[in-house]
Copies of this chain bind each other. A is one copy, B any other.
Amino acid sequence: MTPAEHAELALLLEVAGTPKPGNVDRERDLDDLRFEQFLAGAVGAREGLEAAANGPVGEAFETAVAGMADASGTNTQFGCLLLLTPLVRAAARNDLSPEGVSDVVEATTVEDAAAFYRAFEHTDVAVPDPPAGADALDVRRGADAVSALRERDLTLRDVLELSADRDANAAEWVEGFPRVFRAAARIEAARGPVADRAASAFLELLAEEPDTLVVTEHGEAVAEELQERALGLQAADREEVAAFADDLAERGVNPGTTADLTAAALFVALERGVAVDD
């Protein structure tokens, strides 16, 4: 399979993995977000993922987000695609490693940053406030922020560095994807259906750091509570994890950034030979 095919499959396996507390999975739809919308989002993102294998990551990301939004009618996998795009590019260059993906990140341009901003116009994304003094660069301004980018000569890497302290996906971008590669190694080492391994990886990632989407939407205390509870469930049976999942669904708490990291880790594991017929 090609890197773009593995990336699309990673999106599908991520949403299939269950129980994945707080998120849509094979066994759970949310009130306003259904499993089948994630299937459609993955299909729609494929064209952009193929573009990532061949060209600039910013434009490829925008194409993937536009395709996802058109197919699913909502924002199903924006964060996943932000992580997958440079990883697909690195894999297509036969250098899927922390160094290889850092090379891709370092090579991003102001044009990549402009495409990243345009991507926000295709769908609604929950984002933290911009750093103090960086209102002109608020991603919620979409294409209106592009002139500020050009004036300041900011690349996509520069832009993501600005939010690395409050967005785990941005932190991965600037730090060589450490959590993604570690989770991928755990998926590789595990046994059983790949979607089950993804669900375990999700719970491990949730126990590792507070989910930054939860911080944005519900505050730090809630994110830390989730981390604590995930930590206590590392050796738990499926029923205990399912009870945690029911609780989060009821409260409307969605650790979406942890799902993004899980999808990216699945991609790396698939590239390294993990397969659904293992």
Contact = CB atoms under 8 A, between A and B. Distances in A.
B277 A46 contact: no
A13 interface: yes
Interface stretch (A68-76, A124-132, A159-167): A68-76
Given A1-B43, A5-B44, A44-B1, A193 B13 contact: no
A278 B20 CA distance: 26
A1 B277 contact: no
A44 B13 CA distance: 14
Interface string A20-61: 000000110100001111011011101000000000000000
B16 A35 contact: yes
A230 to B, nearest CB: 23
Nearest to A5: B43
A33 to B, nearest CB: 10
A115 interface: no
B36 A71 contact: no
A9 B44 CA distance: 9
Given A34-B193, A71-B1, A194-B36, A12 B275 contact: no
Nearest to A13: B36
B44 A46 contact: no
